[in-house]
């Protein structure tokens, strides 16, 4: 082990809170679909760090945008206007359902803003309850962990924030029954990511839109993981022919730079009057410049088309793998490049063995391997990844 590796791990052991289970690997560099560690090993990254690096690592457009903006203006308080924030809000709005944006720095903060907006919007009517789904994931703040209907993320943090009602995902009737005169919103991921790549059915998401219209409540879509081209459209809801009242984004929005956003229907957005909500770093010029570069890359490099095509190809290849290993693989499911391989056994060993072969994947919900390559991935990378995965499956 090189000194840099040992010293870095030692520093973490001494000075970093151990709230993550880390692999004994020090990542030092990334380019495209590859990352390198301090020992010189090169890894094929088909997970993109929880779908953050969706243009691959250090995409030249993002690097150049950060460089140029860093020389001009890095931070400006939100009591002033800045060019990049205005440009980015326009891009998000024009590529979604035409709402207005609030910027923050993470997915949890975007959902926190959505929860606050839904509550304040209906505060005069005393409506504050939000319906969320089992196996959802909305973040780690107290409000978003309360919204996340998975006990494993809530354990030890009681009392949680009141006002969340949990119902099963893809169950419209259960949602209808849960609505009462205190309900102000339904919060749902179009595709549950951490919950195991569970895809909302057409009738379910359309039905939720219908319920929100019928009861005069807000539909909040958490597109933190599924948004920004991951499924082959800018936002996963665009596969369903509906529009949300509020949508949240983060992860790949900044091409690797921390940024989150909440986009709300104009009349709803007005409820966030000056002083009601804020974020010091939210919408800072540096992060917004990086995010504008992500939109440019998606448009100029035809990444929605590539995600659709490569997603289809990956699903075909992975389904063949499922046929070859029926004793290990239960099901392969996905939309675009948001793909889950559900195993019949625990998946962490498989992910570990893949890493030993320099392939990065992830396991969520114990048995679901997440396959989320960058949107500009090429066939040769998918082929290489699947060949490595097949070797590991044979070994198991």
Ligand X SMILES: Cc1ncc(COP(=O)(O)O)c(C=O)c1O
Q: Using CB under 6 A as the criterion, which residues of the chain lie in contact with ligand X when the complex forms?
A: 50, 106-108, 111, 137-139, 189, 193-194, 222, 224-225, 250
Rank residues 194 and 245 by Cβ distance to ligand X and give the closer one: 194
Identify which of 276, 296, 299, 277 has the alpha carbon closest to the alpha carbon of residue 288. 296
The catalytically annotated residue of 128, 169, 235, 251 is 251
The catalytically annotated residue of 37, 45, 222, 245 is 222
In terms of phi and psi (left: phi > 0; alpha: psi -120 to 50; beta: otherwise), the region of 379 is alpha
The catalytically annotated residue of 137, 164, 235, 295 is 137
- Contact, 288 vs 65, CB < 8 A? no
Is 222 assigned a catalytic role?
yes
Distance CA 165, CA 186 (A): 9
Burial (Cβ within 10 Å: 0-12, 13-18, ≥19) of residue 382: buried
Rank residues 127 and 370 by Cβ distance to ligand X and give the closer one: 370
Minimum Å gap between C-beta 234 and ligand X is 16
How many residues does this entry show for the chain? 396
- Contact, 244 vs 268, CB < 8 A? no
- Contact, 239 vs 335, CB < 8 A? yes
Rank residues 223 and 245 by Cβ distance to ligand X and give the closer one: 223
Is 331 in a helix, a strand, or coil? Answer: strand
Give the DSSP H/E element, type plus range, for residue 203: helix 202-215
Minimum Å gap between C-beta 189 and ligand X is 5
Burial (Cβ within 10 Å: 0-12, 13-18, ≥19) of residue 151: exposed
Give the DSSP H/E element, type plus range, for residue 335: strand 329-335
- Contact, 240 vs 206, CB < 8 A? yes
Minimum Å gap between C-beta 68 and ligand X is 26
Minimum Å gap between C-beta 229 and ligand X is 15
Rank residues 139 and 255 by Cβ distance to ligand X and give the closer one: 139
Minimum Å gap between C-beta 20 and ligand X is 12
Distance CA 225, CA 395 (A): 31
Distance (Å) of CA 237 to CA 54, 244, 379: 18, 8, 26
Q: Which two tokens mark 209?
A: 């839109």
Residue nearest ligand X, Cβ-based: 107
Is 137 assigned a catalytic role?
yes
Rank residues 148 and 165 by Cβ distance to ligand X and give the closer one: 148
Rank residues 219 and 386 by Cβ distance to ligand X and give the closer one: 219
Rank residues 250 and 328 by Cβ distance to ligand X and give the closer one: 250
Scanning the structure block, which residue is given the tokens 């940024």? 259
Is 15 in a helix, a strand, or coil? Answer: helix
- Contact, 272 vs 120, CB < 8 A? yes
Minimum Å gap between C-beta 235 and ligand X is 12
Minimum Å gap between C-beta 4 and ligand X is 28
Burial (Cβ within 10 Å: 0-12, 13-18, ≥19) of residue 125: exposed
- Would you please indicate which residues are annotated as catalytic (active-site) residues? 137, 222, 251
């Amino acid at each position: 082990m090189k000194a840099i590796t040992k010293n870095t791990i030692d520093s973490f052991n001494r000075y970093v809170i151990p709230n993550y289970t880390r692999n004994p690997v020090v990542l030092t560099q990334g380019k495209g679909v590859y990352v390198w560690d301090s020992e010189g090993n090169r890894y094929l990254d088909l997970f993109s760090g929880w779908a953050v690096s969706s243009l691959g690592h250090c995409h030249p457009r993002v690097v150049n945008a950060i460089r140029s903006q860093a020389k001009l203006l890095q931070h400006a308080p939100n009591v002033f206007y800045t060019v990049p924030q205005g440009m980015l809000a326009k891009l998000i709005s024009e590529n979604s359902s035409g709402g207005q944006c609030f910027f923050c720095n993470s997915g949890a903060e975007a959902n926190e803003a959505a929860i606050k907006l839904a509550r304040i919007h209906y505060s005069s009517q005393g409506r504050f309850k939000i319906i969320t789904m089992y196996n959802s994931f909305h973040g780690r703040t107290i409000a978003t962990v309360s919204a996340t209907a998975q006990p494993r993320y809530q354990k030890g943090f009681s009392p949680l924030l009141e006002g969340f009602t949990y119902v099963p995902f893809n169950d419209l009737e259960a949602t209808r029954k849960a609505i009462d005169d205190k309900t102000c919103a339904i919060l749902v991921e179009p595709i549950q990511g951490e919950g195991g790549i569970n895809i909302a059915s057409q009738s379910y998401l359309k039905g939720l839109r219908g319920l929100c219209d019928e009861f005069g409540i807000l539909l909040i879509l958490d597109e933190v993981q599924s948004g920004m081209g991951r499924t082959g459209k800018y936002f996963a809801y665009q596969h369903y022919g509906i529009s949300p009242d509020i949508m949240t984004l983060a992860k790949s929005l900044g091409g690797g730079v921390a940024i989150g956003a909440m986009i709300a229907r104009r009349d709803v957005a007005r409820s966030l009057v000056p002083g009601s909500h804020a974020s010091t770093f939210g919408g800072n010029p540096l992060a917004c410049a990086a995010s504008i570069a992500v939109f440019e890359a998606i448009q100029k490099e035809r990444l929605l088309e590539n995600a659709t095509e490569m997603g289809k190809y990956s699903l075909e290849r992975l389904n063949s793998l499922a046929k070859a290993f029926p004793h290990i693989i239960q099901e392969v499911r996905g939309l675009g490049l948001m793909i889950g391989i559900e195993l019949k056994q625990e998946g962490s060993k498989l992910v570990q063995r893949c890493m030993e072969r320099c392939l990065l994947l992830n396991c969520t919900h114990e048995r679901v391997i997440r396959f989320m390559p960058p949107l500009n991935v090429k066939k040769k990378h998918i082929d290489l990844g699947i060949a490595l995965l097949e070797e590991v499956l044979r070994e198991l």
